[in-house]
Amino acid sequence: MGGETKLLSLARFEEELSKSQLVYVLIGKEVATEVTISTAVAPLVSEFIDVFPNELPDGLPPLHNIQHQIDLELGAALPNKPHYRMSPSEHEELRRRVEELLAKGHVRESLSPCAVPALLTPKKDGSWRMFVDSRAINKLRDASKVGIGAVLSQNYISVAYFSEKLFGAKLNYSTYDVEFYVVVQAVKYWQHYLFHWEFVLYTDREALKYLHRQDKVSPWHATWITYLQCFTFVVKHEAGVTNRVANALSRMSNFLVNMRIETRVHGKAAGFIHRLQEIHEAVKNNLEKAAGKYKAAANRMIRHMEFEIGDFVWAVLTKDCFLADDYHKLAVRKIGPMEVVEKINSNAYRRKLSSHIRAADMFNVKHMIPYVGDSLDDDDSRTNSLYPWENDAIEDVTNRYLEKIRL
């Protein structure tokens, strides 16, 4: 195989093979390169290692609570297309592919009343790619009567999409009204992008080219036209056969890219904005420091109290504890001691009140003071405003003084 020829045809190779008894064949083999994972993503991958398997597992993921279905047009004839003619080798490959998918659980036998043919197309490496021809069934799944959509593009690259489902009276719109409504809603949805820019609006409805030239319009359309006049744009008609981006890319968010917005700012304006941001940050920090000081000062006066069932406490009565006719200047402001009979939580307690006190038995912890009794002084322990008709320590001292005088 001498000479300068480096590539041989099949006939020339067979000829050289018949002449030579020793042939060296160089076969190129693809070597898989090791993929390195960045340190920022490595902990996430190791945590969810079951989500990144080397091979796809057998079977499908578990069913979700929400199941979807495709609604066909009412009264439409279901398509039942015959299978494509293919060679025995293609038929065998198709059968092998289907059996492999069935064994892995990725597909199952269809229960659909309509048949959708499948076919194989050859790939460059000699293998086959399987396609499912769903064009016939897709004609019965048109969502243009119940849904609208639009795509925002920049330099012929889609950057955002908009869709809306029609309901109620909007389902009765004519075709022209629906197309007009799509234009208004799409512009309103992206008004923050389009307000200061001149843009081109592509539509497959040719009548919309004459939006700004109509002499007689209904009040309904006049409202929409008045809103659109706030923007600077040109309407261009593009036939539905070529205008496929709104139907395709609106359902493919993976193909969207970030929108590039070019702005130029004067140096002094940029410096002023930077200085203003620094002032806002300094004011925010000062407010947080002042709030922290106020909180620390207020917390010094706050006491943390928590009571248990059976504890005796004093109760501070406020105006809202009395009925309208019972509250007056000389009303008792503190009663007790009384027993805690129920603990609602650490902030509310129910206490045992005497029958002559007409007030709610539920008290907040801020209106409760711990009762500390003095066992050495029996006179003090008898002082109790719950029973005003009984003798207290002052009355006992008075009685003793009167007895001494009599003697």
Is residue 265 pLDDT above 90, yes or no?
no
**What's the pTM?**
0.33
Scanning the structure block, which residue is given the tokens 């460059």? 124
Tell me which of 396 and 386 has the higher pLDDT. 396
**In terms of DSSP bridges, do strands 232-237 and 198-203 run parallel, antiparallel, or are they unpaired?**
parallel
- pLDDT of res. 372: 76
The dihedral region occupied by 105, where left means phi > 0, alpha psi between -120 and 50, and beta the remainder, is left
Report how far residue 93's alpha carbon sits from residue 99's, in angstroms, rounded to the nearest whole number: 10
pLDDT at 176: 82
Q: Write the pLDDT tens digit of every residue in 5-42.
A: 467 777 777 787 777 767 777 776 777 677 777 888 88
d(CA 360, CA 318): 11
pLDDT at 388 over 60: no
Highest mean pLDDT among 202-216, 230-244, 290-304: 290-304
What digits encode the pLDDT tens for the residues 129-162? Answer: 777 777 766 666 555 567 788 888 888 788 888 8
Predicted pLDDT at 405:
60
The H or E element that residue 223 is part of is helix 219-228
Give 174's contacts (C-beta < 8 A, 6+ positions apart): none
- Give percent of the chain with pLDDT exceeding 70: 67
Residue 49, number of CB atoms within 10 A of its CB: 9
Q: Is the pLDDT of residue 400 over 70?
A: no
pLDDT-derived band at 112 (thresholds 50, 70, 90) equals low
Mean pLDDT along residues 53-61: 71
Structure tokens at 398: 């008075």
pLDDT, position 249: 44
Distances (CA, A) of 406 to 4, 394, 399, 400, 401: 149, 19, 11, 10, 9
- Domain boundaries along the sequence of the chain: 147-255, 312-406
Could you give the CA distance from residue 393 to residue 312 in angstroms, rounded to a whole number? 20
Q: What is the pLDDT of residue 289?
A: 92
pLDDT band at 88 (very low <50, low <70, confident <90, very high): confident
Q: What is the DSSP string of 46-100?
A: HHTGGGS-SSPPSSPPPPPS-----PPPTTPPPPBPPPPP--HHHHHHHHHHHHH
CA atoms within 13 A on the CB side of 374: 8
Rounded distance, CA 49 to CA 57, Å? 13
Sign, CA dihedral 36-40-46-48, equals negative
Rounded Cα gap, residues 271 and 278, in angstroms: 11
First and final C-alpha spacing in the chain:
151
Q: Which amino acid is at 108?
A: R
What mean pLDDT comes out for the span 271-297?
90
Q: Three-state SS across 324-363?
A: CCCCCCCCCCEEEEEEEEEEEECCEEEECCCCCCCCCCEE
Is there a contact between 251 and 153 (Cβ–Cβ < 8 Å)? no
Which pLDDT does position 213 carry in this prediction? 73
pLDDT band at 299 (very low <50, low <70, confident <90, very high): confident
- Please say if the pLDDT value at position 111 is more than 90: no
By C-alpha distance, which of 229, 198, 227 is closest to 212? 229
- At 362-386, the pLDDT tens digits run 888 878 888 876 544 444 444 444 4
Question: What residues are paired with 370 via a beta bridge?
Answer: 313
CA distances from 7 to 2, 29, 161 (A): 12, 18, 50
- Average pLDDT across the chain, whole number: 74
